[in-house]
Chains A and B, each alone.
Chain A
Amino acid sequence: MLAKSPGFAAVAILTLALGTGATTTIFSVVNAVLLQPLPFPEPNRLVSAVGIDTRNNEHGRALSYPDFADLRKQSRTLESLAAFTDADFTLTGAGEPLHVAGEMVSADLFTVLRATPELGRAFTSTEDQAETRVVILSHSLWKSRFGADPNIAGKPIRLEGQMYTVVGVMPADFQFPLDAEPRALWVTTAGLMTITPGAPSDDKPLSEQRGAHFLTTIGRLQPGVTLQQADLDTAAIAAGLEKQFPDTDGHLSMGLRPQIDALVGDIRPVLLMVLGAVAFLLLIACANTANLLLARAATRQREMAIRVSMGAGRARILRQLLTESVLLSLAGGALGLLIAVWGTRLFATLQVVQIPRLKSATVDLRVLGFTLGVSLLTGVIFGLAPAIHALRFDLFPSLKEGGRNATEGKSHSRLRSLLVIFEVSLSVVLLIGASLLLESMVHIVRQSPGFDPHGLLSFNINLPDVRYGQPEKSILFYQQLLERLRGIPGVKNASAVLPLPLSEDNIRTTFEIEGRPVAKSDEPRTYFRSIDPDYFQTMHIPLVAGREFSARDARDGVQVVIVNQTFARKFFPNENPIGKHIKPGVSDSGPDKMREIVGVVGDVKHRTLWRDPDPESYVPYDQAAIGGLAVVLRTDANPLSLLPAVREQVHAMDPELPVYAPKTMDDYVSASIADRKFISILCGVFAGVGLLLAVVGLFGVMSYTVAQRTHELGVRVAVGAKKLDILQLILRQGMAMTFAGIVIGLIGTLGISRVLTSQLFGIKPTDPLTFIGVAVLLAGVALAACYLPARRATRVDPMVALRYE
């Protein structure tokens, strides 16, 4: 049968290939991102310990070193626990100065992971002690900068101007942390044990600051211990710490979650939503193919009846039909697999999106199995309808009528209509979902970040502590650097900030408000930025009240702070914040100081465009030189064209400082929405294909109906039906199905709105305009799809009424 009707087979196979291809592609992504175990032995025992703010139940806060150390010591349910945090380094003495992204890890990290170096050894537990400088290199850094020296272990290298001893090299496939760009090297947390050079002696090293939350953790459960048991144990330890250190650990609990959740917990609902969308697409494809098969079954009904009457068993006929449909779906699946191989490769090479492990997406055995399973299942699903029908059909009328009475079996056409209604409703759900996502995207894109990102270049410099550790030194450095940069032709303004907006770097601190004493643990929190005085001018962030920083806000002058509008609104709702005093924990040396609020500036979307701005405080760098600043330059020219001149100036000041991460602020803005955009567009494409398939399905059914009803239409024309009567008759039938589908689809969308809510921005999941728009769009497209067959129907020759014998 298939060989006899290549056109039918081609359409069916293409439809199925589209469905399975899209589904398999997404599944291969889900497989790589969500389902693959972590690439370490016994990955199910790996967990992450996180802080929980018991006031707002905010999970996932970073831990302080003392809390981490206490948890590690007291836990009876964790076999081991390691902490880590990002650390940037400048590598010198091995070719050009190079900025490398590294990770500062507690020495037992490799024990937790059970990872062994390919060369040398891992850290020993004593290497966390102060003044120990050891480093493990990544395979690629070892190759690119040290010529894959087999005797590297034991040799010194220069990082941040200090000598570190290489103890090992990790294998090429080792990566940690998994959700970030590959790290070039790992050092121990020994650096946390000493006080930063230049800080007054009464300051404590980070390893003793219980209030400084910056560590991420990974631990391994004791064998036989469940996550729940360990989680309870952890919470109990946290409760003890809270009692013991109420100032720093008040309202702070701790909990465990599977390490895989820490990695992909955020992206999971999004990917599952996309998988759901693509499953809808597959269902539409199935319904379409089922309809094609039904149409064919109808034309063969008499043949079947005759076969049965001649003694063919029904089981045999059922088998034949199912074999056909499974053959079709396997062919579609094979073609779909090709699409998936291509699609998966496309996804894996996408540069813009930052979904962890996406790059490792391939069509592996599990994906192959999935495709095979989906193909068999779809084959049975869409083959079942015609097969059941074949089993149920009534022999007698089939033979008696010989198709003459112009009445196709009623149940038969009803089944086909139901399938079309089903397709239309699925496509309504898909379309509304995708529209809502895309509309959210438009809302997000229209969000102002609070500064003008066009014409802004930013880059980073990492100042080694050895030479720039004292605040005075780094302050001077930036002053001079900015002065030089402002002199570059084309540069209109230059300034610097830490952390850069939308860079995913954020600093949060607690603060005191003068005259409103609260317990230490109840202090409110604010995001914090250290800036050069020209920052607001350069970024075009509007001043709302008071004044900006200026040269008079010197290091030893009045201690000042500027807050954003959200801060002012939240903490000084009915007062003028100017002149009020707050004490944020942002000192670069000595105890925190009371600071006078001298200005209020406009809100900036520092974290993401779709999150409401948070309370924010800005302090002049001169008064809080807490680290290396990111430089921002405003220009009318193409921002990146300034880079050579920028490099030249930096080099002139210090040839050992690499300029790294040069990007336009527009890039930061688009990178911050890239994942969302990608997901929205993906869903949009699926919805478009779904609509296309549904409309093709409707068109097919209507064309088929017109063909089937030719005789009836001829009779109608013979007894006086006008062209318009016939047109209406056919359109009404098509539109009745469409409207039924639309109504069911709208109701269905209400059902899944809960899934969508969390992915939307600026629009409700029940947005009436979207619902109406999609309904109108579908009705319009359906009308067009029905119009062609209806036109053909009006050309039916009434003669068929006579000739049909």
Chain B
Amino acid sequence: MADANGTLIKMEGVKKVFYTDEVETHALEEIHLEIKKGQYISIAGPSGCGKSTLLSILGLLDSPSGGSYWLNGQPVAELSTSERTRIRNREIGFIFQAFNLIGDLTVYENVELPLTYRGSGAAERKQKVQNALERVGMAHRLRHYPSQLSGGQQQRVAVARALVGDPLILMADEPTGNLDSKNGEAVMELLRDLHRNGATICMVTHDQRYANFADRSIHLFDGRITEETQEAHASA
């Protein structure tokens, strides 16, 4: 749950440095960021500016090199690996640009995966997977394998996988990057639906049209936040 004033995510002075051979890459510098529960944030910026890096830190896939990050009021730096795994599994849902469905598993099994790792019972899993797939309109393709689906369908399955465990936050890294505009819009529509139902969403996108769907847009440049816009229509 969010803390008293509804803050779900808080970053202060977060930075990320990659060391490759002799080269230091400062992917993120002095990131201050607060995201309230239920907000829809879009992150934009030129290639290589640090968007994916920011998202991966937000989603506990990676740790910052400096600064502080509180998730749901808790300092992330103090979490053990297994606690981070647990949170990734229960509180965060990921949607990737490359869909990242597992080719050897059926649509059903792919969506079921987070629940499996959570250790949910079979009946509960079945119920939730069914619901999630219905929400993205893919309930009729349970037994298909990802390779038998179109890109748009694959991404909808990936969205179902992200939301099947009722996460607090959805992290989406260019979810429409590999889709044509029609399919892209359908996925965006889905995210908007989820947002209307109360989901907190962080989405990286290059596409200004989609950025406009969000409550807030953050612009990154060279690892720093350069600009924030509040979209007036978002709460409409």
Contacts and interface: CB of A to CB of B under 8 A. Distances in A.
Given A397-B147, A720-B88, A798-B61, A406 B117 contact: no
Contacts, number: 78
A715 B56 contact: no
A723 to B, nearest CB: 8
A407 B104 contact: yes
15 contacts: A397-B147, A405-B147, A407-B103, A716-B102, A718-B100, A719-B94, A719-B117, A720-B89, A720-B118, A721-B85, A721-B113, A798-B61, A802-B173, A805-B97, A805-B98
B134 interface: no
A799 B100 contact: no
Contacts of A801: 61, 94, 96, 100
Nearest to A404: B98
Contact of B117 (A401, A722, A798, A804): A722
A717 B85 contact: yes
A42 interface: no
A721 B102 contact: no
A405 B101 contact: yes
A316 interface: no
Given A801-B100, A805-B98, A716 B113 contact: yes
A516 interface: no
A768 to B, nearest CB: 37
B50 interface: no
Interface of A: 397, 401, 404-407, 410, 711-712, 715-722, 725, 798-799, 801-805
A718 B117 contact: no
B45 interface: no
Nearest to B162: A719
Contacts of B114: 719-720
Given A407-B104, A719-B89, A799 B82 contact: no
Contacts of B56: 799, 802
Interface of B: 52, 55-56, 59, 61-62, 82, 85-86, 88-90, 94, 96-104, 113-114, 117-118, 146-147, 161, 165, 173
In the complex, the 10 A-B pairs of residues with the closest C-beta atoms, listed nearest first? A720-B89, A407-B103, A720-B117, A719-B114, A715-B100, A798-B61, A721-B117, A405-B103, A712-B102, A720-B88
Given A716-B117, A718-B59, A798-B61, 7 more contacts: A397-B147, A406-B103, A712-B103, A715-B102, A719-B114, A720-B89, A802-B56
A802 B61 contact: yes
Residue from the set B55, B61, B96 with the largest chain A CB neighbour count within 10 Å: B61
A801 B52 CA distance: 11
B103 A718 contact: no
Contacts of B118: 720
Nearest to A401: B147
A715 B96 CA distance: 10
B61 A720 contact: no
B104 A725 contact: no
A373 B102 CA distance: 44
Contacts of B52: 802-803
Contacts of B96: 715, 801-802
A721 B96 CA distance: 17
Contacts of A716: 102, 113, 117
B180 to A, nearest CB: 15
Nearest to A714: B100
